[in-house]
Amino acid sequence: MTDFWSFLLQTLTASSAAIFVLAAKAMFRDKLSLRWQFASWGLVGLALLIPAGISGRYAFVDLPFFVETIKSVFTGQYGTLTKVVAPIPLPFFPSEDTVFQWVYIVYAAGTVFFLVRYIVLYIRLRHALRRIEMETRPKENRRKEELQEQIDFTAKKYGLFSCPVLEVEGLESAFVCGVFHPVLVLPKKEVDEKIILHELLHLRYGDVLWGLVICLFRCLHWCNPLLWMCADLAGNDLESLCDQRVLERISGEERRDYGNILLDMAGGRYAKTPGTSSIANGSKNIRQRIMAIARFKKYPTGMGFVSICILMLFSMPFLVGTKPMIASEKGSLLLDNNTACMARARTIRCTTYAGAFDTYAKAVLTGNIPYLAMCAPLDKQNLLAAAYKEGREISSLKNLDLPGLVDIDSGYQIYNIIKKQDTMYEGFLALKLLKSSDKSELDENEASQFAVQYVCAEKQGDRWIVFPKENFRIVMQENEWANAAYPDNSAFPAWCYKANTENFLIQMQWQTASSVESLKITNKNGILSSHFDQTPQPNGVFSILWGYKISAVYTGNPDDKNLYTQIGHSGYLVWDKTEKQNNNQNQNSTHWGQSSKKENFNEITSSSSDGSSFSSRPLKEGWNNEISLGGGGGNYGRIEPPECYLMEFYLNGKLKDQLTLELVEGSGIYER
């Protein structure tokens, strides 16, 4: 915790866990043993120890949303995101002097005060006990030996650990002091064996250490009365659990006597020092412990397993949590719509680069500023919040100036994604534009328009953000039915592979088109229909389509063109060049051999989703210098382009050359 807002998020998260545990304990009080009643406080301990929202999730209530909303209302700032980096207050260097920073300073000072106070109390107690021991050692040596024998006998009788004993005059009840060098402190009077048994059981199960943990939580959340109450209840459950352990080791009238011993302590004061455990913990708590003794029973075999299952079920919201809901266009009903909706957007992390690209693309498609805030850098949040409050559309922002209306139903594609480093990816966003109603020259040529923009996804902290590297620009595709969804669009850049052979330049164009699956199927009145789902998927994974086209460009003497009557190839993509050494024979070469034996052959092309292809084409008189050799495509899980393309090149039915088409450096990048 480094500021007031991170403390507020942490303490509210712990409070929500405490409320849940209190409700669960009330529901299962008679069904769970005291062991599991005390163990249930471990869920609150998890909420106190684990920084709130560290995994981008919350338990039960979306508290980060409420904290961000309140912070924006009181500070008017949107460019920061509340984050709990540690469950304890850390020193910080404030850049601005605000009332909330002073509140945090008071909180941190209070934490230090209570910690120092408890440490001083413990040191004073240990010093007082050491002084009493030094004063009584020469006078009552025999009495101490008898007490030590009694302690050792009780420990041996019940199979427990023993420890040094000290008798103090005026003490109301016994207690164990210390974790590493514990001392059993007894009142200077006759002490029942069951009291000694109680304290030795505290020693056996390390209850003093649990008391220190509870004390630490008191210090960290000293200004939260709910957590202080829970600390008291946890301490009482710890004592009740020790009572149960005592009752499990005694029987008959001894149990009744043990209850009477607790009754005698009900009128005494209770002031427990950290680092100690005491059988007496206040009159009110002792009454509750006696009620627990009255309903004491040994739970049947197998109940422990049932208790574990119940606790595991309850712990899932704390260990796994729930993702925040996607920011809606209309905002939230809490407080101001604009402020609450922007707060909601900031608390939703894009956990994958694909999710960040998807969120950005859908923000542009729909003109939804909260969507954009989900994937925008924090230093842009104030600008987006101001635009959202003014009711402006995204297209009015300078860095998102779209040149026309977007065809939302066509969706989007991120072309030719390049991995710059583990935390940065670049590619260009392609959106199909709607045609205007006017019959323009563009419409008459039956061309399609696309808006493209070079964009970059970068990981900042625990969230992926997207920022444009240019304004949108128009590219045109002559085909009226062109769609950004298929990686064979000549309007977009492609990775280029080339190889030279006699009189021919062989080249391959390779493209990828990536998007998060957003097709939504609806059933209305028995009629199935599909449409593009505009809701961002901040945790999405890309579905990557790839496609390639191969062509041969004649570079020889034009007068020699009539020497060639047939052209073809057989080849395959190589994703790893080690394949080149292990697979020298192309798997489709047999197809060429079969087709080349035919006297009258037609044009033949084939391809496979594994990246292999085959083609055979007749060359008629006057054929063009550039000849298409076909291509292929598929769905591949990698964004990286293949390393090369291996080809067997045929002319006039005979193998002409074995080629390796190498990647041309600098290709595949959209020129800005």
What are the structural domains of the chain? Answer: 4-316 (no CATH), 350-477 (3.10.450), 495-663 (no CATH)
Max CA-CA distance within the chain? Answer: 127
Q: Which of 204, 191, 198 is nearest to 147 (CA)?
A: 191
Task: Give per-residue pLDDT as tens, 278-305.
Answer: 666 666 666 776 666 665 555 555 555 6
335 CB-contact burial (10 Å; exposed 0-12 / middle 13-18 / buried 19+): middle
Is residue 139 exposed (0-12), middle (13-18) or buried (19+ Cβ within 10 Å)?
exposed
**Residue-level pLDDT at 442:** 43
409, 532 contact by CB (below 8 A): yes
Check: CB of residue 516 under 8 Å from CB of residue 543.
yes
Query: Beta-carbon neighbour count of residue 320 at 10 Å?
Result: 10
Residue 589: band (very low, low, confident or very high) from pLDDT cuts 50, 70, 90: very low
The predicted pLDDT at position 447 comes to: 66
Mean pLDDT of 356-379: 88
Using CB atoms within 10 Å of the CB of residue 528, give its burial: 0 to 12 exposed, 13 to 18 middle, 19+ buried. exposed
d(CA 172, CA 440) in angstroms, rounded, equals: 99
Q: Decide: helix, strand or coil at residue 145.
A: helix
Write a three-state SS string for 38-99: HHCHHHHHHHHHCCCCCCCCECCCCHHHHHHHHHHHHHCCCCCCCCCCCCCCCCCCCCCCCH
Per-residue pLDDT at 552: 93
Tell me how crowded residue 228 is: count the other CB atoms within 10 A of its CB: 14
Q: What is the pLDDT of residue 465?
A: 92
- Token pair 């011993």 in the structure block, residue: 261
Nearest to 197 by CA among 154, 162, 238, 247: 154
Separation CA 9–CA 84 (nearest Å): 8
State how far the Cα of 131 lies from the Cα of 278, in Å rounded to an integer.
Answer: 21
Question: Which pair of structure tokens corresponds to residue 172?
Answer: 């109301």
Nearest-angstrom CA–CA distance, 174 and 189? 11
Q: What is the model's pLDDT at position 466?
A: 93
Which residues have a Cβ under 8 Å from the Cβ of 169 and sit 6 or more positions away?
187, 188
Choose among 144, 145, 247: nearest CA to 198.
Answer: 247
Map residue 329 onto helix, strand or coil. coil
Burial 275-308 (b: 16+ CB within 10 A, else e): bbbbbbbbeebbebbbebbeeeeeeeeeeeeebe
Q: Using the structure block, give the residue that is written with the tokens 């684990």.
A: 50
The kind and range of the H/E element at 550 are: strand 542-554
Q: In this structure, what are the phi and psi dihedrals at residue 65, rounded to the nearest 5 degrees?
A: -65, -45
Q: Stretch 390-410: mean pLDDT, rounded?
A: 60
pLDDT for the residue 294: 62
pLDDT score at 67 = 83
Give yes or no for a contact between 636 and 625, defined as CB atoms under 8 angstroms apart. Answer: no
Label residue 306 by pLDDT band (50, 70, 90).
Answer: low
Sheet with 165-168, strands from edge to edge, namely 165-168, 183-187, 175-177, 276-278
The SS3 of residue 32 is: coil
Per-chain mean pLDDT for the chain: 78
Band of residue 598 on the pLDDT scale cut at 50, 70, 90:
very low
The stretch 408-434 carries a mean pLDDT of: 87
Q: How many residues does the chain have?
A: 672
Please write the tens of the pLDDT for every residue from 138-180.
Answer: 656 777 788 888 888 888 888 888 888 888 877 777 888 888 8
The amino acid at 651: L
Percent of the chain with pLDDT over 90: 10
Report the pLDDT value the prediction gives residue 70, as an integer from 0 to 100. Answer: 84
| Closest-CA residue to 432 (of 462, 412, 458) | 412
- 122 and 129 Cβ atoms separated by less than 8 Å: no
What does 437-448 look like in DSSP terms, one character per residue?
SS--HHHHTT-E
- The tokens describing 425, both together, are 């990816």
Residue 35 tokens read as: 């062991």
E strand residue ranges, 424-536: 424-432, 448-460, 463-468, 473-477, 495-501, 504-516, 519-524, 527-532
Tens-place pLDDT, residues 235-259:
888 888 888 888 888 887 877 787 7
The pLDDT score that the predictor gives to residue 266 is: 58
What is the band of 324 on the pLDDT scale with cuts at 50, 70, 90?
low
* Helix residue ranges per DSSP H, 137-252: 141-158, 193-204, 207-220, 225-249
